[in-house]
Amino acid sequence: MTRAVHPLRIPNFRAYWLSRFAGTIAISAQGIIIGWQVYGLARETMPINEAAFLLGMIGLVQFVPLFLLTPVVGLVADSVDRRWIVRGTTTLLMINAAILGALTWAGDLSLPFLFAAAAFVGVARAFSGPAYSALAPNLVPRESLPTAIAISTLAWQTGTIAGPSVGGLLYAVHPDVAYATVSGLFVVALGLMFLIGPVPQPPAEKDRRPLQRILDGFAYVRDNRLVLATITLDLFVVLLAGATALLPIYARDILHVGPGGLGVLAAGMGIGAATASLWYSFNPMKTDVGRKMLIAVIVFAVAILTFGLSTNFYLSVAALIVAGAADMVSVYVRTSLIQLHTPDAMRGRVSAVSQLTISASNELGEAESGLLASLLGPVGAVAFGASAAIGITLLWSRLFPELKRARTFDPPDILQTEPQHGEAKP
């Protein structure tokens, strides 16, 4: 049996991994900076509840373009060189960050421009996400694929969770430093992407019409109950229990710790995510993956509930550390299952569907958090969402028994189930 080489020993994958990590930190750091600036400008003329609603709308303007473009971007990722998709979107994100930095330095920022910049980020991410996800399996041999998918996902998730801490801490030093760092990270991500040599591209499906190929991606997700279960569970849990959008409110008006404290709060999830990421990079999960994912989701929701009710800064940070680690476990299992159960020729389209649900849970979740915070207050919004997420997880464990029966990541062995009524046995 051939011993699987670790993906980070492969130059193409190493450049890809570092590029994705740097780019994801930059996007996430910029997101928390924009949120802080929007909330700060809004609080100059609005009470907390109205400013919280406006803060949540930042997530909505990022979600709308992704929602509208999802049918297209997956097909693009399966038809165009994925490296060039990432290179182009990274260049545009770098320019966007540089313009925001220049306007911040000049003192000319306005709420309309911040919302426009957030929408532009949504468009760029719509194209880059599926391309990044679908590219990873093309860079390593088959025996190294499970580990490659795992650490690729960990790079994205760690960057997503750690990025806000970087943005918050650097913004506390000086806004110019924050935007300069974000722009620099995009430059690094772009340079690394150019180090990746030619990679295999799925064969063109010339006998399939574009619309039918788009619909095939949605049909695959619908018909594969394990993939459907993992995608929808993440959608509802993070939609309800995500608290990242409200961190500026907690930092300024509940815990009273300012932008420096905001960075520490965001760093809490980053610390937890990085710890879990490091562990699974060297100790890949091998057994009872479905049950472990369900447990991790419950732990995540309980930790968010604790954060929402806490008025102690240190307890809040500790709760976010636990939430970050639990979220990383869930993402590690979910993305590995999705990628390993999807043919390469369809990975772009399935990744686009997955990205849509992730964005719905994150960006649309920000809008939901802002709306609930305007109605229930920030503490009530977080407590309600976390409690509902616990209920959703328990419900999904009953509706989709495939989750509990998922033993390993290996597709041929992953489900020990009998065919559904009316289906033929393989």
Kindly report the CATH number assigned to the domain that includes residue 29: 1.20.1250.20
CB neighbour burial string for 373-409, b if at least 16 within 10 angstroms, e if fewer: bbeebbbebbbbbbbbbbebbeebbeebebbeebbbb
Q: Is residue 391 part of a domain?
A: yes
Per-residue pLDDT tens over the stretch 239-295: 788 777 788 888 888 998 887 788 788 778 778 877 887 787 777 777 888 888 899
Reference 215, options 81, 346, 67; nearest CA is 346
Number of domains composing the chain:
1
How far apart are alpha carbons 168 and 155 in whole angstroms?
Answer: 20
Is residue 297, in this structure, part of any structural domain at all?
yes
What phi and psi values does residue 415 have, to the nearest 5 degrees?
Answer: -115, 120
CA dihedral 401, 390, 67, 33 (to 10 degrees): -140
Residue 243: inside a domain, yes or no? yes
Greater confidence (337 vs 398) lies with: 398
Q: What angle do CA 267, 173, 31 make, to 5 degrees?
A: 50
In a domain, 361, yes or no: yes
* pLDDT higher than 70, residue 208: no
Q: Among 161, 313, 325, 166, which Cα is nearest to 243's?
A: 161
Neighbours of 365 (CB within 10 A): 27
Beta bridge partners of 415: 406
354 contacts 133 by C-beta, under 8 angstroms = yes
DSSP state, residue 45:
T
Residue 278 lies in a domain: yes
Average pLDDT over residues 15-30: 92
Is residue 420, in this structure, part of any structural domain at all? no
- Inside any domain, residue 424: no
Please check whether residue 409 is in contact with residue 299, taking contact to mean a CB–CB distance below 8 angstroms. no
Using CA atoms, how far apart are residues 27 and 96, in angstroms rounded to an integer? 11
- CA-based angle 302:316:121, to the nearest 5? 85
Residue 146 falls inside a structural domain: yes
Taking only the tens place, the pLDDT of each residue in 38-97 is: 888 888 888 888 887 888 788 778 878 877 887 677 777 777 888 999 999 999 999 999
Mean pLDDT of 387-404: 90
Q: Give the domain extent around 365.
A: 7-197+210-411
